[in-house]
Amino acid sequence: MSTNTPVSAAADLQTPLKFAYWVPNVSGGLVVSTIEQRTSWDFDYNKKLARIAEDAGFEYALSQTRYAASYGADKQHEATAFTLGLLGATERLKVIAAVHPGMWHPGVLAKWLITADHISNGRAAVNIVSGWLKDEFTNFGLPWLEHDERYVRTEEFITVLRGLLTEKDFSFHGSHYDISDFTLSPAPLDIPGRAHPEIFFGGNSTAAQAAAGRTADWYFSNGRDLEGFKGNISGVLAAASSGARTAPAKPRFGINGFVIARDTEAEATETLREIIAKAHRPAVEGFAAAVKEAGQSTKDGKGMWEDSTFEDLIQYNDGFRTGLIGTPEQIAERIIEFKKIGVNLLLTAYLHFQEEVAAFGRDVLPIVRELEADLARKNGTELNTDLLPATSLEGSPA
Ligand SMILES: Cc1cc2nc3c(=O)[nH]c(=O)nc-3n(C[C@H](O)[C@H](O)[C@H](O)COP(=O)(O)O)c2cc1C
């Protein structure tokens, strides 16, 4: 693994990296494979997982939104309800609910988010995703918009959402939403360091990067290699600096990665080989056909899953591509390479979530923290350790 990536101007060396995990609220785990996965989609499993994660030093969990079976995930729990349940079961973890414009009205979501913010003492967030599973929309009798029009709607959706979270007598007249003189009361909690509950955005295409750059607090991408993700960052930053950005602070960056941390590189590689060898072929092939509604349907053919191989799609968010597979040291070094290009958050998935989230906190995170402190020092600055999340080893924050 390369350790020579130059530090980009987009990198924030003072702020510790943040870590998130995918909430397994859909059945079948996060890889479409018949390999043993000691991961369950039910609430009890997830409640315990959330507590393990916050003790291990994770700051965020991301609930997925899915209404219909796909890639073998034949059972799904609704993201916003699940998110509230997990917030109630934890004390420090921030939980992000994925939401589709087109399924939700932004005013209804703003109201939900404010209530969730009050209930959780400022720990609720949303991930706005534009969708790819056409049947979910059309079988519900909802319009399925052409790819780039979905992002026009998403951008309006976030503008309305933020407007309703932050302004009184908010009005907006766009092509998808028409809001007149609306004030939501109560407002979100007044918490120092944030303008409102955080708005994440998941997408990869050129249209997604532009919309995120103009509107999102956080841009999330599918798994990518370093060169690939550098392209996403520059696309988002170009839109953010175009003068059309409506969000208060500059966007921050998160990338998905499937983690296989084992004592030796050979064991980790062998686990990946077994996942692929035991792929659930019909489910992966069905998924490959359905995702043609995403990246491949764009005008420039660039977007999520545009060039994903059969192997990539076994982790349905291209998580193998990020390369978090090896020993704890190798994974920590790889994570630092992503920090150098401007990544602020690692969104992670595992084969056996409870065991491996705990192991990640124990074996990988301490090395990441050492390496990021070194990196800061070598570049003439300091890692701000006041911003590190508490772990069970250090005890809870005051
Ligand atoms: C981190 C991340 C999380 C996502 N979560 C969901 C989800 O929960 N449900 C969903 O339908 N799509 C989800 N998506 C996919 C988006 O809805 C969208 O289909 C995808 O970004 C492809 O669009 P693009 O080609 O324009 O990038 C997610 C995407 C990313 C990057």
Q: What is the DSSP string of 75-110?
A: -B--HHHHHHHHHHH-SS-EEEEEE-BTTB-HHHHH
- How far apart are alpha carbons 359 and 58 in whole angstroms? 12
How many angstroms does the Cα of residue 167 sit away from the middle of ligand 1? 28
pLDDT given for residue 394 in this prediction:
53
Where do the structural domains in the chain lie, given as residue ranges? Answer: 18-387
Residue nearest atom 12 of ligand 1, based on CA coordinates: 131
pTM of the model: 0.95
Tens place of pLDDT per residue across the chain (398 aa): 446 789 999 999 999 999 999 999 999 999 999 999 999 999 999 999 999 999 999 999 999 999 999 877 899 999 999 999 999 999 999 999 999 999 999 999 999 999 999 999 999 999 999 999 999 999 999 999 999 999 999 999 999 999 999 999 999 999 999 999 999 999 999 999 999 999 999 999 999 999 999 999 999 999 999 999 999 999 999 999 988 888 888 899 999 999 999 999 999 999 999 999 999 988 998 888 888 777 667 778 777 777 888 888 999 899 999 999 999 999 999 999 999 999 999 999 999 999 999 999 999 999 999 999 999 999 999 999 999 998 875 544 43
323: Cβ below 6 Å to ligand 1?
no
Which one is the CATH code of 18-387: 3.20.20.30, 1.10.10.10, 3.40.1780.10, 3.40.50.410? 3.20.20.30
Provide the 3-class DSSP secondary structure of residue 284: helix
Closest-CA residue to 157 (of 203, 100, 113): 100
How many angstroms does the Cα of residue 201 sit away from the middle of ligand 1? 9
Residue nearest atom 30 of ligand 1, based on CA coordinates: 202
Altogether, the residues listed in the chain come to a count of 398
256: Cβ below 6 Å to ligand 1?
yes
The first and second tokens of residue 166, run together, are 């932050």
Q: Are 293 and 231 in contact (CB under 8 A)?
A: no
Residue nearest atom 26 of ligand 1, based on CA coordinates: 205
Measure Cα distances from 96 to 66, 117, 160, 191 in Å.
Answer: 14, 11, 19, 17
Residue nearest atom 28 of ligand 1, based on CA coordinates: 202
Place of tokens 């609306």: 182
Residue nearest atom 3 of ligand 1, based on CA coordinates: 202
How many angstroms does the Cα of residue 43 sit away from the middle of ligand 1? 23
Q: Are 75 and 62 in contact (CB under 8 A)?
A: no
